Amino acid sequence: MPVEGFLNISAIAPRIEGPRGADRGFIAGRSGAGKSFLARRILTTYGISENWPKEFRGNVFIIDPNGNFDYPNEGEFDTVEEVKLDRKARTLRYIPNHDQLDALHWNALWEKLFLCRFPLLTYVDETRAMEPLFGRVRFERGNFFTAYLTRGRALGKSAIMGAQRPVTIPRDIIGQAEWFYVFDLPLEDDRTTIAGTIGEFSVDGERIRDRKNLKRYEFWFKGPEDETGIIDPVKAQIIR
C-alpha cells in the first residue's frame, strides 16, 4: 500500500470476510473535520450482488442516534420492534426515538444484529450513545453489543464505530478495531486516548498528540500491518 498518492477507498475499508474474519474500524474526529464524509465514502465499498468482491459483500445497517448521518437507504426505523433485517435491502438506517436509548432497548437491537443470518456491516455514527451497555451491566441473555464485537468476527459481522470524543469510549471497545481513521480532536485527553491506541508517532515522526499536525480534512490512518504493510500511522487527506 503506497504512503503517497491516491487510494481506492476499498484499500482502507474494513473487510466483512478477511484473514481475521469480519473486521472492526474506529473513526474519530470533531464535527466538521471530515469524519462523516469519509464514513459515507467507506460505506460505498459494500454491496450485496453476487459478483461483489467477497471481502466487502454484505448488507449495511446504520445506527444514527442523533439523526445527522444522511445516507441513501431502503428503509428507516425508530424503534427496535420495527427493525427487520432484509437481505434484499442493501442499506437500512436506525434513528432511535428517545424512549429507545436505555440499555434494554440497545441490547435488543444488538441481539438482532448479532443473530442476523447474513453478512453485515454495522456503522455506528456516535458510539457514545451505547454508554448504557458499557461496563458491568448484566443481561439475562448476555451483552449483545460485546458479543457482536467479539464473537461476531466469525459470523460475518463487521463494524465501524464513530466517535467525537474517543476518551468517552472504553479502551476495550476501541481496541477491537484494526482500522483507524482519526481526524482533528480539539481536546488533549481525546488525542491522548488515540495515541495510546495507535502509537505516539506517525511513520514520518510526527506526534499524534500534537493537534497542529492535522489540517482540516486530514486524518491519521492505520490499518492491519499484514494488509497495509505499514506499522505506524500515516497522514491521509480527503480530496473533495
pLDDT in tens, 64-106: 999 999 999 999 999 999 999 999 999 999 999 999 999 999 9
- What is the spatial distance between Cα 45 and Cα 36, in angstroms, rounded to a whole number? 15
- What is the spatial distance between Cα 61 and Cα 148, in angstroms, rounded to a whole number? 13
What mean pLDDT is reported for the chain? 94
Task: Name the amino acid, one letter, at 133.
Answer: L
- pLDDT, one tens digit per residue, over 11-65 is 999 999 999 999 999 999 999 999 999 999 999 999 999 999 999 999 999 999 9
Q: Which of 70-74, 136-140, 171-175, 209-213 has the lowest mean pLDDT?
A: 136-140
Pairing of strands 218-222, 234-237: antiparallel
- pLDDT, one tens digit per residue, over 217-226 is 999 999 998 7
Cell numbers at 80, concatenated? 427496535
Tell the CATH superfamily of the 9-237 domain: P-loop containing nucleotide triphosphate hydrolases (3.40.50.300)
Three-state secondary structure call for residue 189: helix
Q: State the average pLDDT over residues 137-158.
A: 94
Give the closest residue to 26 by CA, choosing from 179, 236, 172, 133. Answer: 179
Q: Which of 104-118, 126-140, 148-162, 223-237 has the lowest mean pLDDT?
A: 223-237
Cross-strand pairs, 93: 62, 76
